[in-house]
Structure 1
Amino acid sequence: MRLEKDIQISISQIKQIFDRSFDGIFVTDSEGYVIFINHTAAHHLNRSVENTIGLNVNELMQMGIYDRSAALEAIKQKRTITMRVKTITGNSISTSLPIIENDKVLMTITNVRSEKTLDSYIKELEYERATAQRYRSAANYLSEVNKKSRLIIAKSKSMETIINTAQNIATTDCTVLISGESGTGKEVLSRFIHLNSTRSDEPFIPVNCAAIPHELIESEFFGYEKGAFTGANQQGKPGFFEMANNGTLFLDELGDMPISMQSKLLRALETGEIQRLGGTTRIKTNVRVITATNKNLHQLMTEGKFRDDLYYRISVIPFQLPPLRERPEDIVELSNHFLQEYNLKYNANKYFSDRSMLSLMDYAWPGNIRELRNIIERIFIITQGDQLEISKQMINHQHSRMTSASEYAELDLKNYMREVEKHYIYRALEKHEGRIGETADYLGIHRTLLYKKLKQFEELACESIDY
């Protein structure tokens, strides 16, 4: 450092520094007359430096150069003022700082920056924020996956064939269509493919197409720019394709996608480009798409509800997941897996009786793996001892419906209200596919209370069941 002498900067050098500033710099005296303006600020006003110095800011406003003055407000209020100013060349953000001595304003220094420049910065920040969120999601997903086996739990020959094929095609970028009944493990298979692909360190973004309102689906998929529609985020928003860039986008319940959106999805798959709603530029993305449905897409195509060209584009590699009732070997494997999972979760050492496993294998499981998991968890929770006793009647009881009006007529008020509550809670559980947390939120109660009520229902049911 040069400490032995002061570094002097001349007035001429200061002017050169200001003239080379990326920000517009605008200086007025205490009455608002321009005493200095650099080339950047002059450019914002579409004037030359020479023709601006000496003018009063009121004159500039009268000439229509800009609509209001931050400098005049700073002089008037004797404090720093920031405002949006509409100039002849476009909008800008102006910040005026008054230089005050003995409570008198000597001059104001105004910094000017184009709103377009600020918007580009905001957009860049939003993109970085979205990217950071993508990687946070990816990190959370990967940390969750690392706690579990990378293998799909299955023993049946049909599932072994599917798993081997999935492992072979995982390293490619081909589109995949997974069909099967609800609860058969379509998302599990899609995650397995992603985890075994070259994109495994990138985001996995699951999307339920049936859960998105039709009027919002395009903006959710492709994002939107600032002010694209009423109620839109002021900074705009990236869509699913941008969030999944370099990773995998899993589109579940694809059969519920409106026909108008299907053509836009096809275009994105064909070109690899998307355009935000309200935007004018196309954004290149690198996304692997895996789709899933529990509907018959061939039937939907016949009915004109699903595009043939989209079907052929997404079904390069098709998988048909068999229902659980057609692979009883997997019932044993999955049941033991879930039991071990809950033993670890609740620090227990519970086990199935032989009769329990026979009952589990003898049931048709219309809700497939999801139903199996949920029932095992519920019975695990309400069982006091270590041995889990499960009968087919108990499993069927989970699907019990409200009794008829004539049966209700025989009940006293207390039991009548209990039956109504039980039916309502079980319907809520079915609506949320057995997810305790979501059901509790839907009912407006704490999950602990929900567990308590379910336990009470099961205890009352067990009293009337012949084992």
Structure 2
Amino acid sequence: MKVKNVMICNPYTVRYNQSLADASKIYLEHDVNCAPVVGINDDIVGIITISKVLESFLSGSSPTAKIDQFMDDPPAVVSENADFENLANTCPQDMERMLVLNQNKKLTGILSRVELIKKVNLAWEETRNELKVVLQSVSHAIIAFDKTGSIYLFNKGAEILLGISSKEATDQRYAGVLPQWIWKEVIDDGNARFGLRLEVNNKRVIGNSTPIYVNGNITGAVVVLQDLSEMESLVLELSRVRELKVELDNIIECSYDGMLVVNTKRVVLRANKSALQHFNLSDYSHNCILSDIKSEIAVCLEDMSINIVEQKRSLTKGYTKLDGQEIMITGNPRFSLNGEVIQVIFNMRDMTELQRLKFQVEKAKEEKLRYSVELLELRGKLLKEDLITKSFTMEPILELMLRVSQVDSTVLITGESGVGKEVAAKRIHKLSRKENGPFITINCGSIPENLMESELFGYEKGAFTGANKEGKIGLMEAANGGNVFLDEIGELPLNLQVKLLRVIQERVIYRIGGIKPINIDVRIIAATNRNLKDMVKKKTFREDLFYRLNVVQIEIPPLRDRKEDILPLSEHFLKKYCTKYSKQKKITQQVYKIFESYHWPGNIRELENVIERAVILSQGDTIDINHLPENLNIGENGKADVEVTIRGIVSLDEGVQLMEKELLRKALGTEKSSRKTAQRLGITHTTVLRKAKQYDLL
């Protein structure tokens, strides 16, 4: 019998760049537990199993993560014309599956361990030898006793369950294998026992004990045991798969991005709530065609769908609605096994919200990376940023930075958020004698208080529960021979302020759980946007530490007080992001005028964000006022240019309320506090709170 007679034909495959969600759909729709992974040239590059997918989800991986990050190496291969019986005799016991190839080395099937066992059972069931092989292949533990208690059958399942070999079991009879009553009572009274529950080899099992009759006489008993944990595991796994399906459905439905799936005839197969909102629909018919939807976006999607099906590749396009909302639409083809496009999956994103979320995500990633890198990464960190200024206001500050860099005194850098305090600290490091030493940034406001001490000073092995068994050096020790930049120093807990004071005074640290002093040679550069003097008065910051840090104070002025820097900074950021995104852009003089008249509450960080956003969103080679955020798009009178669109007629009072609510909503979303919102709108703080509560905006 040939392998091709017993294999699973035409297995379902996935591509290496598909997602975990795609693999999950194959398992659910086709009742399989694995899928070969196909590479760029349609060759088999790995295999992804349902267990691996579940493990990835449980570890926190996203359903959109690519399969090639989790797949296993390809299993062994066998020719479809190979002799099945020879393969069954030589196949390793732990091999779960094999790939079956034809004479052209193309995948035609899968030969799994389960299928192999089934075929062996069918092929040899008529002879005594067949029975022996079947018993050895069964996963349950099967043990046969004679009337004296000697074991004469002890299959592989019994070896696995009880943890002893067949030879050991037959040599020691029943002693130490199973309790005597399990087989003896059955032999004594001839009554079978079913559903026996007991604990064997620290495992909970269920079993049956049945007498063996020969010519009407009881000659022994056979005991069949099953590991309950295996059955419970399968039930749990099935339950998890169902939960994952429900979870995936909920994720798609709750996604802020609009998600839409159509077939090659542009029939809408699925659309979440966010997608329907772009169409101004509350629901859709399952036989609905894109051309039937009365929406400006539907026309764009239909054109994109035609191009994607014809070109068989992804397509991204920006679309601006009549109300001014900018949407980024990405369409991805879904292919059948023969490489034909069967569906197009659209993702529609509101770019305004996306930019805000992207900034938050990037900031979170930077903070996480800053405190998770190892010592070598900390020491090898490159200093790529520098001060860019043409302002006369900055000249004495630059001179002070140069002078203080030549000594090792402690420096306190103050200024509003986003003015470039960390860039100034790096400039001091570059000019100092410790230039070749490490420069380590520690954000005192981002590290949890319970982890702050171990991050700063490290710990000895076994210092506390959950600690690395080898111990860990702290960031202070890692910065030995260099400079430490303590950003947001005002957020440092009081209990650690004492220890930092000792480090500055004695140049010595102690690891948590350690008694040996460690001498360090570091210079402290601290920075804050808070008023430390007021904090000292309020007893939230130690006075002695303040004077130790404030040996030399460098205050960086806000961007609005050095407008000469706006043009060079804008050109610097424009060049930076044009290079990053492979674009060629230039900024109009009208935009520069707006930049110079804007008050920049977010300082240089806000300017950089505006430039990056404009580079991304502008479709031509020029950045003009249409590519600026609403809060920058100001007219000659200094007021915001507002376009009001009226789609229907309501009463004047109702219209005024709607306009008031929308204006208040936008202002609250732009400003960081209700007091700044009041200043922006030219009303009192209490009016903002009262109106926001009235319109349910807080």
| TM-score w.r.t. length of structure 2 | 0.38
The 1:309–1:355 alpha-carbon spacing in structure 2 relative to 1, beyond 3 Å, is same
1:340 is aligned, of 571, 575, 590, to: 575
Superposed displacement of residue 158, structure 1: 1.6
Give the CA deviation at 1:348: 2.4
CA contact (8 A) 1:375 1:395 kept: no
The 5 A counterparts of 1:236-275 are 236-275=471-510
* C-alpha distance in 1 between matches for 2:583 and 2:411: 40
Deviation at 1:316, TM superposition (A): 1.1
2:427 matches 1:192: yes
The CA deviation at 1:235 is 1.2
Give the counterpart of 1:352 among 573, 587, 604.
587
On the 8 A contact 1:134/1:203 being kept in 2, the answer is no
Contact 1:170 1:196 in 2 (8 A): yes
Aligned twin of 1:141? 382
User: 1:18-67 CA deviation, whole Å, 9 max, x = no partner?
Assistant: xxxxxxxxxxxxxxxxxxxxxxxxxxxxxxxxxxxxxxxxxxxxxxxxxx
On the 8 A contact 1:356/1:391 being kept in 2, the answer is: no
2:623 paired with 1:382: no
1:314 matches 2:549? yes
Q: Map of 1:271-290 to 2, 5 A cutoff?
A: 271-290=506-525
Query: C-alpha distance in 2, partners of 1:395/1:361?
Result: 16
| Code of the aligned partner of 2:549 | I
1:177 aligns with 2:412: yes
Aligned residues with identical type, % of pairs: 44
Cα separation, 1, equivalents of 2:583 and 2:545: 49
Superposition deviation, residue 233 in structure 1: 1.3
Equivalent-residue separation in structure 1 for 2:417 and 2:423 (angstroms): 12
Letter in 2 for 1:298: K
1:304 shift after superposition? 0.7
Would you say the 8 A contact 2:594–2:632 is kept in 1?
no
Deviation, structure 1 residue 335:
0.7
Aligned 8 A contact 2:536 2:542 in 1 = yes
Find the partner of 2:448 among 200, 210, 213: 213
Higher relative contact order (CA 8 A, sep 6+): 1
Q: Is the 8 A contact 2:610 2:629 kept in 1?
A: no
How do 1:46-61 residues align onto structure 2 when only pairs under 5 Å count?
none
- From 173, 198, 222, give the equivalent of 2:457: 222
Following the alignment from structure 1 to structure 2, what is the Cα–Cα distance between the partners of residues 326 and 176? 23
Unaligned 5+ segments in structure 1 are 1-131, 401-405, 431-467
The AA in structure 2 aligned to 1:350 is K
1:152 Cα deviation after fit:
1.1
Question: What is the RMSD of the two structures over their aligned residues, measured on CA atoms?
Answer: 3.3
- Check the 8 A contact 1:135/1:202 in 2, yes or no: no
Distance 1:321 1:384 in 2: 36
User: 2:602 aligns to what?
Assistant: 367
Confirm or deny: 8 A CA contact 1:177 1:317 kept in the other structure.
yes
Listed one character per residue, the Cα deviations across residues 442-463 of structure 1 (whole Å, up to 9, x for unaligned) are xxxxxxxxxxxxxxxxxxxxxx
Q: How far off is 1:346 after superposition?
A: 2.4
Question: How many pairs does the alignment contain?
Answer: 281
Q: Is contact 2:614–2:628 with CA below 8 Å preserved after alignment?
A: no
Is 1:235 aligned with 2:476? no
Distance in structure 1 (CA, Å) of the matches to 2:434 and 2:487: 19
- The one-letter code sitting in structure 2 at the alignment partner of 1:226 is K
The 8 Å contact of residues 176 and 291 in structure 1, kept in 2 or not, is answered as yes
Q: Distance in 2 between matches of 1:303 and 1:394?
A: 39
User: How much has 1:410 moved relative to structure 2?
Assistant: 7.3
Tell me, in whole angstroms, the C-alpha distance in 2 between the residues paired with 1:341 and 1:161: 27
Taking the aligned partners of 1:361 and 1:163, their CA distance within structure 2 comes to 23
How far 1:254 sits from its partner (Å)?
A: 0.4
Q: Paired residue for 1:325?
A: 560
Question: 1:264–1:312: structure 2 CA closer, same or farther, 3 Å change rule?
Answer: same
User: Residue 326 of structure 1: CA displacement?
Assistant: 0.9
**Residues 181 and 323 of structure 1 are in contact (CA less than 8 Å); yes or no, is this contact kept in structure 2?**
yes
Determine helix, strand or coil for the equivalent of 2:524.
strand
1:305 aligned counterpart, secondary structure: coil
Please, which runs of 5 or more residues in structure 2 have no aligned partner?
1-372, 634-639, 641-653, 673-698
8 Å Cα contact 2:443/2:488 also seen in 1: yes
Secondary structure class of the residue paired with 2:459: coil
Higher strand fraction (1 or 2): 2
C-alpha offsets along residues 63-96 of structure 1, whole Å, 9 cap, x if unaligned?
A: xxxxxxxxxxxxxxxxxxxxxxxxxxxxxxxxxx
- Say if 1:221 and 1:241, in contact at 8 Å, map to a contact too: yes
Q: What is the 5 A alignment of 1:7-22?
A: none
What residue identity is the alignment partner of 1:373? E
Deviations 1:331-350 (A, max 9, x none): 11111111111222223221
CA distance in 1, matches of 2:607, 2:536: 33
Larger helix percent: 1
